[in-house]
Amino acid sequence: MSNSDTKRLSRLTAILTRLQTKHLITASELADRFSVSKRTIYRDIRALEDAGVPILTEEGKGYALMDGYKIPPVMFTESEANALITAEQLILKNKDASFVKDYTDAVNKIKAVLRNNTKNKANMLSSRILSGQNTERVRTSNNLSILQLALTNYNLVKIKYYSPENHQTTERMVEPFAIYTTKENWLLIALCRLRNDYRAFRLDRIESLSVQNQTFVPHKITFEEYIALIEKKCL
C-alpha cells in the first residue's frame, strides 16, 4: 500500500468517526480539518457510500450518518489512551460526584477495547499520575449529569437555591444555558425566570432540583455574548 493510500485510509476512518460524533458536518469543515480540497472530500464521501456506509446528504447543511448506524469500536493509540488516563486522574478530584462517576464509567468502557499491552500500560500510568487538587476527594454536588441533560434537551429545571449572602433559600424556575467550572466546583448559568435575567448558580448551593417535562425556546445568545454582557454590567 502506497503512502498516499495509507493517508487516504486514515482520513476515511477519521471522517467516519467525525460523522458518528457530530449530527451534521459540512464538506468545508472536513476539508479544513484534513487540509484537503472539498473535491477530495466529495470523493471520500462517495468512497464511504460505495463501501456501504449510509451517509445522508442535506443540501446546504452537510452530511450525517443514518440513525441507528454503528461503526465498530474505535481503537486508541497508546498516546490517546494516556491522554484519557491523565484526564481521568484530574476528574477524580472533581467535586461533583455524578461527573466523576460518569467519566469513570466511560473510561472503563474505553479500557475494555484497548489491546492488552496498551491496557496494562494505561493502568500503570493511572497509578503514577497525581493531582494536588482536592486531595481529600470532597464531593460537594451530585447534579452535574442531570443538568447537562436538561441543558441539551432544553428542559426547565426547578431548583431550591441557598444564598449565603442573606442566608435564605429561594425556589427558582430556570432555563439552563451553560455550565463552567472553577476550582473543581461547577456553576450553572441559567435564565432565572424569577429575576428575568441570567444568573450563575453554584451547584454545591443547590439544595434540590427537579427537571420539568416542560421545555423552553433555545437561547439565541452565545456564551461569548453572555460573557461580554457580564463584563458590561461590571463596568
pLDDT tens digits, residue range 21-51? Answer: 777 889 999 999 888 999 999 999 998 888 8
| Residue 166, C-alpha cell as written in the block | 442573606
pLDDT digits (tens, 9 = 90+) for 68-107: 776 666 667 788 888 888 888 888 888 899 989 998 888 8
Nearest to 147 by CA among 165, 135, 159: 159
* Dihedral angle computed from the Cα positions of residues 6, 7, 13 and 16, in that order, rounded to the nearest 10 degrees: -150
Cα 107 to the chain's mean position, in Å?
14
Per-residue pLDDT, averaged over 164-179, amounts to: 94
How far apart CA 232 and CA 235 sit, in angstroms, is: 5
Task: Say if residue 192's pLDDT is above 90.
Answer: yes
Per-residue pLDDT, averaged over 57-71, amounts to: 80
Per-residue pLDDT, averaged over 138-165, amounts to: 93
Per-residue pLDDT, averaged over 112-125, amounts to: 78
Task: Say if residue 159's pLDDT is above 90.
Answer: yes
* pLDDT reported for residue 69: 72
Answer for the pair 91, 103: CB distance below 8 angstroms, yes or no: yes
Q: How many helices (H) and strands (E) does the chain have?
A: 8, 7
* pLDDT reported for residue 19: 83
Nearest to 210 by CA among 181, 172, 178, 177: 172
Strand-pair category, 55-58 with 168-182: unpaired
Q: In which band, very low, low, confident or very high, does the pLDDT at 180 lie, cut at 50, 70 and 90?
A: confident
Average pLDDT, the chain: 85
Per-residue pLDDT, averaged over 56-77, amounts to: 77
Task: Say if residue 2's pLDDT is above 60.
Answer: no
How far apart CA 19 and CA 16 sit, in angstroms, is: 5
> Which structural domains are found in the chain, ordered by start?
3-65 (1.10.10.10), 78-126 (no CATH), 144-234 (2.30.30)
pLDDT digits (tens, 9 = 90+) for 220-235: 888 888 888 877 776 5
Per-residue pLDDT, averaged over 139-159, amounts to: 94
Task: Say if residue 1's pLDDT is above 60.
Answer: no
